[in-house]
Amino acid sequence: MDSVAVLEKPVAEWDWRQRVIEIILAAPEPPAKRKMTYEEFLAWADEDTLAEWVDGEVVMTSPASYRHQDVRGFLEAVLRPFVEERKLGIVQSAPFQMKLPGSGREPDLLFVAARHLDRLRRTYLDGPADLVVEVLSPESAGRDRGEKFYEYAVGGVPEYWLIDPDAQWAVFYRLGEFGLYEQTLTGREGLYRSAAIPGFWLRVEWLWQEPLPSALHVLSEIAGIAPQTVEQFIQALRGP
């Protein structure tokens, strides 16, 4: 009797485990999470929401560092008056969505040429900007060099700047043959002339100065004038 009892225990335990496995395998799979449309994302997110939309999923982002904001603010302060006074288009900074096929991103800066202003909507740009600038941070570097690099090329963004304040390194891309980005300038210094913004150029080393140079003096150098008065400076930017 003792030997029979000893044999029955492992058999019973095996049956119990087998039954649990069968129940688990027979259970229906949980329903797949419903993807969010871009319109639903726009209705859900407000101006203070740090998020992007990628293939129906919400991608949360982190607040930017002081240096990141400082460099972005400098570039905006230089680009915006140059573009607006020459009536070349508009410059917009984050948070403002750029809707491409399969994604809605918030570039740090974007430029839309005057001929493409019909792409502007109340809360987003419906299509590619003519120029996108991303200022890298440790949290965003992977996306900016990876997913966004691919999405911007496929989406038809003609010019893409990647600025890394921590590494003091910049890479400037232009959309080339077969819809692939080609490097036009990379490094810590040098003079870059934009193809998207006629007449605009940038000394890369300006981006690493401590403190950053005066936007007014930078604009006066780009425009080739001495900014003795605001009126003279603005008039020179407007051109003949």
Domain with residue 173: its CATH number is 3.90.1570.10
Asked if residue 54 is part of any domain, the answer here is no
Residue 168: inside a domain = yes
pTM: 0.75
Residue 76 pairs in a beta bridge with none
**Residue-wise burial string across 143-165, b where 16 or more C-beta atoms lie within 10 A, e elsewhere:** bbeeebbebbbebebbbbbbbbb
Would you say residue 77 lies in a domain? yes
Q: What are phi and psi of 125, to 5 degrees?
A: -100, 120
Mean of the per-residue pLDDT values of the chain: 83
Phi (first) and psi of residue 162, to 5 degrees? -115, 115
What confidence tens digit (pLDDT) does each residue in 41-73 have?
Answer: 777 776 666 667 777 776 666 656 678 889 999
Task: Give a yes or no: residue 34 inside a domain.
Answer: no
Q: Report the number of distinct structural domains present in the chain.
A: 1
Per mean pLDDT, which range of 21-25, 27-31, 45-49, 131-135 is the poorest? 27-31
Query: Is 40 inside a domain boundary?
Result: no
Among the ranges given (111-125, 132-146, 155-169, 200-214), the one the predictor scored with the smallest mean pLDDT: 132-146
| SS3 state at 158 | coil
In the prediction, which pLDDT does 233 show?
65
Residue 26 included in any domain: no
169 has a pLDDT exceeding 60: yes
Nearest residue to 58 (alpha-carbon basis) of 36, 34, 32, 31 = 36
CA-based end-to-end distance of the chain: 111
pLDDT tens digits for range 67-97: 888 999 999 999 999 999 899 999 999 889 9
Residue 110 lies in a domain: yes
Domain of 68, in residue numbers: 64-238
